[in-house]
Structure 1
Amino acid sequence: MVNIILGVLLFFQSPGAEQLSYFYFGNTNVVGVGILSEGEKTGEWKVYSKSTADPNPIASLEPADPLDFKKNFNQEFPLFIIQFEKGIPNGPFLENYPNGKPKVVASLKEGVLDGDFGEFYPGGELHLKGKVLEGKKEGEWLEYSESGQIISTLTYSDGLIEGKGFGFYSDGDLQWEGNFKKGELDGPFAFYLPDSILKTQGQYVDGIPVGEWVEKLEILPGFYHKGTYQNGLREGEWQLTDLEGEFLQGEFYEEGRLVSVGKFQIPDSIEDKSKVKNGNGQRYFYDKQGNILARGKISKGIADGLWYFYFPESDRVSASGNLEGTDRVGSWSFYSYEGDLLDQQVYYKESSPIAISSGPARPKRKRNSNEIFGTISNGEQGTGIFGQGWNIYTFQNRGY
């Protein structure tokens, strides 16, 4: 990859004494400077950004005013360097960070990415590498951390993920492994916590979780759920178990919603206060000796309302606040064992998907692999021209 960078950088040379031309490159926040031959862009063109970007730039590929360019555009480092042949991008393509360091090194063929592709962190470390064929990812793609550790490996065919895929933590430990078919998860899938403890494991078919799954309880450590997915949703009886797989309580689901729970397996001398009916009520969690670990409100089949969490083997509250599903929301209070308030924090419900989902899809609709594994699309975001021809929209939404 280093040789590719050197080759591309050596290729890009400053234009000679020919008359320079100035054109907007997609919108009025970016201007390209280069040579016209018989009215068409040719040779090396450098694309620069406006010193103070307009919040609402005008879409344009029209000629730009050279005086306006020299007055209002940042000319220290080009954001893009592109080779043209008869008005069409052909050859090496370079995207830079604002400090001039390479961000993307690639090649274009008739306006479409084609050949080796590399994306880099701002410090110059390799982030993503692979090959592109006619604008689509092809073959093995590797993603790296800034320290040089591989954090994902995927194989593409005609732009879609195929076969086995792996994700890794920054220390090299396995984070997830799954199988893909035409860009969708299809087959066995497992996700692990940083300490190599299993978080979720099951099967996907065409991007939808099906059959038997094992999932770590998210709101409280020390428990797993085991049960079946139908049409991407929990259905029927599930088992709540401890980390060794010992049965503790039955859970009953309809279309992904908790409807009711059975008796918690605690000593007969201790009353199980859980009362969940038709998806509403109060739920309690206990240890094997019957000590309370957590309790809170269930509404419409999910945790929704005030919850309390307790210190082990005691009736003393360690934390309290509102849950919406598995998310803490609003103000939460944290206490010492003696009951003194230690801290208060405000939480906001996540409004966007996380980079890598650790478990099955909760909604009824399918999610494609880019929604499930958001980080793998970084290379596409680097240039904004994956799978596109060269047109007015190429740099339209770049934000420059």
Structure 2
Amino acid sequence: MKKILLALLLIFAILLSACGVVKYEYKDGVMYGDGKEATGTFEFKAGKYKVKGNFVNGVPDGLFEEYYPDGNIMIKDTFVNGENTREELYYKNGQLMGTFADDEDLKLYYNDGKLVMTYNDKTGESIIYHENGNPLMITNDKESAIYNENKEMLFKVENAKAVDIGTTLKKLEDGSFELVKNNKVVAKIDANGELIKYLYSTGETMLKVNEATGVTEFFFKNGNTFMKEDGNKNVLNYKDGKPLYEMDGDSWKIYNEEGEKIAEDFELVTNIKKVD
């Protein structure tokens, strides 16, 4: 009986070998098959999300697609010999969230298609947008300007010097100040001159600059924080206050509308399957 069992086990092992069962493993950015660098199209899970893409000699090469649990596209990555040269992120409704590419401007959108921000790496110009699509702040190497939602300029700096745009400073009885333009208050300044609040045309706080702490905070009309800059840390939020984009020095994160991080490297890869 033992000889029969051993013979059956041997036959089973031979059959497995003949069927070409390969053990795939993703380690340190390289896909392996039985310990050798693998080539082909693979499906796998990166964290909780399904991914499909092509590997050549173990490294990503070509288009990679990452999916939401419902099957809709979440991320499209383009790799060239292991280097990520372009990334597109999408909302669940199919609307483009943002594009990151070596040879293109950075653009971030809300799920209704309106721009949140743009950055031109060649010119160094960045633009932050109001909810209605008009520019809120335009900044480049030489100048910066702030606008309310109606495109009215509230402040401008050129070569580190403030530009006269027709505003006057009015001191109040409590020692604080109001910045007035065309007989309308466009900003409020505390008595120490450290805290400046720029206003929407309807009176809500639009932008708060704290000279003492170095923190700058933009607000939606509903009062939620739109963007916050604190040293090297920058945060952009959805209209409900949840984070959309976080940058801390050279590291950054992108979040979906539920607050889940969706843009990251293939940190934890499981369920690897070769499909081509």
Identity %: 15
Q: 1:287 to 1:226 in 2, by over 3 A?
A: closer
Aligned partner of 2:37 among 83, 88, 94: 88
Deviation at residue 143 of structure 1 after TM alignment: 1.9
In the alignment, what sits opposite 2:225?
none
Deviation at residue 148 of structure 1 after TM alignment: 0.1
In the alignment, what sits opposite 2:142?
211
Aligned partner of 1:150 among 96, 109, 123: 96
- Equivalent position amino acid for 2:167 in 1: L
Distance (Å, rounded) in 2 between the aligned partners of 1:349 and 1:191: 13
In the alignment, what sits opposite 1:383?
266
Residues 1:248 and 2:167 are matched in the alignment: yes
Distance (Å, rounded) in 1 between the aligned partners of 2:125 and 2:64: 30
Work out whether residues 173 and 196 of structure 1, in 8 Å CA contact, stay in contact via their aligned partners in 2: yes
Q: 1:291 to 1:108 in 2, by over 3 A?
A: closer
Distance (Å, rounded) in 1 between the aligned partners of 2:186 and 2:157: 24
Distance (Å, rounded) in 2 between the aligned partners of 1:84 and 1:248: 69
Aligned pairs (5 A) from 1:236-275: 236-239=161-164, 247-249=166-168, 264=169, 272-273=170-171
Work out whether residues 145 and 153 of structure 2, in 8 Å CA contact, stay in contact via their aligned partners in 1: no
In the alignment, what sits opposite 1:166?
107
In the alignment, what sits opposite 2:195?
303
In the alignment, what sits opposite 1:13?
none
- SS of 1:354's equivalent in the other structure is strand
- Equivalent position amino acid for 1:248 in 2: T
Distance (Å, rounded) in 2 between the aligned partners of 1:116 and 1:188: 30
Q: 1:368 to 1:133 in 2, by over 3 A?
A: farther
In the alignment, what sits opposite 2:224?
none
Work out whether residues 214 and 227 of structure 1, in 8 Å CA contact, stay in contact via their aligned partners in 2: yes
Aligned partner of 1:110 among 57, 65, 68: 57
Q: 1:90 to 1:222 in 2, by over 3 A?
A: same
Deviation at residue 18 of structure 1 after TM alignment: 4.8
Residues 1:284 and 2:183 are matched in the alignment: no
Deviation at residue 127 of structure 1 after TM alignment: 1.3
Deviation at residue 113 of structure 1 after TM alignment: 1.8
Deviation at residue 197 of structure 1 after TM alignment: 1.9
- SS of 2:155's equivalent in the other structure is strand
1:264-323 CA-partner distances (Å, limit 9, x unpaired): 2xxxxxxx2179xxxxx8443446447797442546xx429xx8x9xx89xxxx9xxx96
CA RMSD of aligned residues (A): 4.9
**Structure 1: tracts of 5 or more residues without a match:** 1-16, 20-34, 37-41, 48-59, 62-81, 156-160, 204-209, 230-234, 242-246, 250-263, 265-271, 276-280, 329-347, 357-366, 385-393, 396-400
- Equivalent position amino acid for 1:381 in 2: E
1:158-202 CA-partner distances (Å, limit 9, x unpaired): xxx223343322111233333235xxxx34432212211211223
Q: 1:187 to 1:291 in 2, by over 3 A?
A: closer
Deviation at residue 97 of structure 1 after TM alignment: 6.7
Deviation at residue 151 of structure 1 after TM alignment: 2.1
In the alignment, what sits opposite 2:129?
192
Distance (Å, rounded) in 1 between the aligned partners of 2:64 and 2:191: 51
Q: Normalising by structure 1, what TM-score?
A: 0.42
Distance (Å, rounded) in 2 between the aligned partners of 1:98 and 1:88: 22
Aligned partner of 1:127 among 74, 80, 92: 74
